[in-house]
Structure 1
Amino acid sequence: MTMIRTTTMIALLLLAGCAARAPRLADVAAPTQRPPVILISVDGLRADYLTRGVTPNISALAASGVRATAMRPSFPSLTFPNHYTLVTGMRPDNHGIVNNTMEDPRIPGVRFSLSNRAAVEDPRWWNEAEPIWVTAEKAGLKTATMFWPGSEAAIHGVRPTQWLPFDGKLPNSDRVAQILAWVDQPARPAFMTLYLDTVDHDGHEFGPDAPETVKALAEVDAQIGALVAGLKARSVAANIVLVSDHGMASVAPERVVRLDLTVPAGSFRTVSTGAVAGLEPMPGQGAVLASALKRPHPHMTCWPRGAIPARLHYGHNPRVPSFVCLAQPGWMILDRGPSEDKALGGMHGYDPAAPEMAASFVAAGPAFRPGTVVAPFDNVDVYPVLTRLLGITPLPSDGKDRLAQAILR
């Protein structure tokens, strides 16, 4: 009887031990969910804006994670080309969004522009590359995009699980609230984007050093703080990557190169103007236009499409105009004099090497090495970081893995 009782007690103790260990074994066996990745674009956030003392929340993210002294945009340093570069790892000449305003001989009669809703939603303009949300969706991950350029088109037939058409009037607070609403969903998206454009808007209208721009910067920083606080309240440890697409340079009406006073009348038509201009010759005027643009100009340099300096990685895509002219930073190229009611205080699109074009990069979250500061790098290197965070296989790109190796745990 004593032996039977002893054996029974040992069996009960073994069963109790198994029961006590079962939850831990189940936890180990259960699949682990990666922290969500939130890619934030603060359009026009010049690198040195973060030293102005009005961005405590962005600075706190940088202190807890990673910051770059600067990030070099791709040429041209414009909004749509660089946003698509950030999510594809390809330079504009390779992903096809070569300007905010462009033409394609394969899509005759259509001019792509930010205001052309039909073109923005037409996948033919975007299909030369595959953005990370498409790759993620193909890998079975849910994605959600808040206004990121390209996300309104069914690229290669795929859209984000959730997306919204761009509405410039939607307050930044509502945009942040939408991200938190997505976070609250039972099937939380693995990848989300947030786009904030007020710093760029006021930088254009008033100039990069204007009080209005500083105020917009402080307001955006407050919204970043609200997002971080909302994640903390939900106990969500997200990997946040905050970037900008370009910087901003001061401009003035007196610093304008007028093409109508520089190039023979009737020899050209403009595809785009601003910091970088695209020109097409009128029929039979190619030689005349080439000769006029070849002449030295103190504030503008022009090249035929095939002769653009190699360091700019630009000019092979058929969407690049026949002639490309680049203004000296602080100057603009217009086909006529500037309109007094549309005078601008700031512009971008210049040589990516210009200090005024330097963009921002800040990242924080469980995947990042805290207290890391990295030297300036090309923005094509952001894409490999994002694919690593999501655990998906990157597509071939112009980006290198060196940034990911330097900043990820």
Structure 2
Amino acid sequence: MAFLLRGALLALLLLVQGCATTRAPDAAPTVVLVSIDGLPAAVPGSGRMPALDGIAREGVQAAWLQPSYPTLTFPNHYTLATGLRPDRHGIVNNNINDPVLGRYVSKQASARDGRWYGGEPIWATLQRQGGIAATMFWPGSEAEIAGQRPRYWTPFDGSLPVDARVDQLLAWLDLPPAQRPRLLTLYMEQYDVASHASGMHSLQAVQALSTIDAGLARLRDGLHARGLDDRVDLIVLSDHGMADVPAANLVFLDDLLPADAMQVESVGQMAWLTAKPGREAEVERALVRRHDHFECWRKADAPPAWHFGRNPRIPPIICQADDGWRVWLHRYPVSTVLKGEHGFAPEDVGMRAAFTAVGPSFRNGVRLPAFDNVDVYALLARLLRITPAANDGDIAPLLPALKDSR
């Protein structure tokens, strides 16, 4: 009997020890989200960015990422962060007028006022559920939104080199576990800036791609040196694409009606305006229809696929230029050089954004069909294993890319 008792106790001890040493379920991975402003969907896999090509080849690449309307930097970056359309989150343009808040101008002090921002960005979702986030220049991250700021954030500084930005991300990953972020975002605007100045295929734009790609290589090398390859999901995407616009491709609103009949908020790829009091019928009669190289709508009648036109910050009439054109006013200076631009309709091929990803959560060598950029928030929440806030996205298009697609 004593022998049997000792045997039973020994078996129980071994069982307990076995349970104690059994590998616990994997912890949620760290997520690094990188945005290359203006990068067209055609660049990954083209040979122009070898480090980015490696991410696409080893992991996941989408045919393209469908941007939201309008195809501008701040509206789409905040859509990526919230999963909400610009019409819902309120950042409907890079520069906005609001009857209560006044004037919003991206990258100025007004952009740090959280009252402008609706919805809940992913860094707030994570921190509300006990995680830590770090953001490097991501549009919207300098404001307190939904009661949260990222634990670590930096004010935008366009002069900070790509290498220094990458090194800051790696430094955050070197923090002690209790202080280390689980979500890190990085924004790189160099290609967008060079394309606007000189064209999307200019030497300056090509050099910007090379500089950014070297930064991606530095980031991946840094992750590998820290033994984080199987613990970090790396997503590299863009907010929209880019298209070249010849200097001569201009159409003028004030060729169609007197300039004093309307208050124009913006011109360019989009023209937004309000009729002066008493001249509403005149303005609508002259503008609300198809024209050569552009079209105008009452905001409530904008194309349904744009999910746009309800927000009170949008003026009554919106005009959209065709790809490669600008809508202008005679009183504004006219460029004499080719420039790269975005802000065209999201269905235009040139506006297609890029999406690539690699890491422990992703399958290898997956090619996804195009999907909508509102779905990125749902993906981030799933990777971080947190409950998403209300959003317009859907995880379903991304499930084929995930190792755990349940």
Same fold (TM over 0.5): yes
Deviations 1:272-298 (A, max 9, x none): 222112111222222221122135420
Aligned counterpart for 1:384 among listed residues 371, 378, 386: 378
Q: Does 1:334 align with 2:325?
A: no
1:266 aligns with 2:257: no
Q: Letter of the 1:292 partner, please give it.
A: A
- Partner Cα separation in structure 2 for residue 157 and residue 302 of structure 1: 38
Within the alignment, does 1:213 sit opposite 2:213 as a pair? no
How do 1:120-269 residues align onto structure 2 when only pairs under 5 Å count?
120-126=111-117, 128-186=118-176, 187-237=179-229, 238-269=232-263
**What is the identity, as a one-letter code, of the residue corresponding to 1:154?**
E
Name the SS for the 1:47 alignment partner: coil
1:76 alignment partner in structure 2? 70
CA 1:366 to 1:283, structure 2 compared with 1: closer, same or farther past 3 Å?
same
1:7-26 matches, cutoff 5 A: 14=10, 18=14, 22=17, 25-26=19-20
The 5 A counterparts of 1:310-349 are: 310-336=304-330, 339=333, 343=337, 345-349=339-343
Counterpart contact for 1:264–1:289, Cα < 8 Å: no
Shift of 1:95: 1.1
Deviations 1:325-366 (A, max 9, x none): 000111112233663678551110111110100100001000
Q: In the TM superposition, what is the alpha-carbon distance from 1:241 to its structure 2 partner?
A: 1.0
Do 2:44 and 2:56's aligned partners in 1 also have CA atoms closer than 8 Å?
no
Answer yes or no: is the 8 Å Cα contact 1:56–1:221 preserved in 2.
yes
State, as a whole percentage, how many aligned pairs show the same letter.
43
Structure with max Cα Rg: 1
Deviation at 1:34, TM superposition (A): 1.9
Structure 2 distance, partners of 1:337, 1:258, is 10
Deviation of 1:14 (Å): 4.4
Shift of residue 193, structure 1, vs aligned partner: 0.2
The amino acid that maps onto 1:232 is H
Instruction: Please give the root-mean-square deviation of Cα atoms over the aligned residues, in Å.
Output: 2.4
- The CA deviation string for residues 244-273 of structure 1, in whole angstroms up to 9 with x for no partner, is 000001012211122233331211122122
CA, structure 1 residues 283+116, in 2 after alignment: closer, same or farther (shift >3 Å)?
farther
Hey, what's the Cα distance between the residues in 2 that align with 1:185 and 1:31?
23
Contact 1:328/1:350, CA 8 A, preserved across alignment:
yes
Residue 207 of structure 1 and its aligned partner are, at CA, apart by 1.1
Structure 2 equivalent of residue 53 of structure 1? 47
* Shift in CA distance, 64/286, structure 1 to aligned 2, threshold 3 Å: same
| Amino acid in the other structure paired with 2:209 | L
For residues 106 and 84 of structure 2, the distance between their equivalents in structure 1, rounded to whole angstroms, comes to 20
Q: In the alignment, does 2:274 pair up with 1:283? A: no
Aligned to 2:351: 357
- Alignment check: 8 A CA contact 1:303 1:323 kept: yes
Query: Residue type of the partner of 1:141?
Result: G
8 Å contact from structure 1 (residues 385, 403) kept in 2:
no
**Structure 2 contact 289–297 (Cα < 8 Å) conserved:** no
Provide the rounded CA distance (Å) in 2 between the counterparts of 1:75 and 1:83: 12
Q: Secondary structure at the match of 1:48?
A: coil
SS where residue 149 of structure 1 aligns?
coil
Deviates more, 1:311-320 or 1:272-281: 272-281
The SS at the match of 2:43 is helix
Instruction: Decide whether the 8 Å contact of 2:136 with 2:165 is kept in 1.
Output: yes
Residue 32 of structure 1 and its aligned partner are, at CA, apart by 4.6
The alignment partner of 1:279 has SS state of strand
Of 295, 301, 307 in structure 2, the residue corresponding to residue 307 of structure 1 is 301
Equivalent AA in structure 2 for residue 112 of structure 1: Y
Q: Does 1:393 align with 2:384?
A: no
- Correspondent of 1:402 among 388, 396, 399: 396
Q: CA deviation at 1:232?
A: 0.3
C-alpha deviation, 1:27, in angstroms:
4.7
Q: 1:340 to 1:285 in 2, by over 3 A?
A: closer
Aligned positions of 1:103-118 closer than 5 A: 103-107=97-101, 110-117=102-109
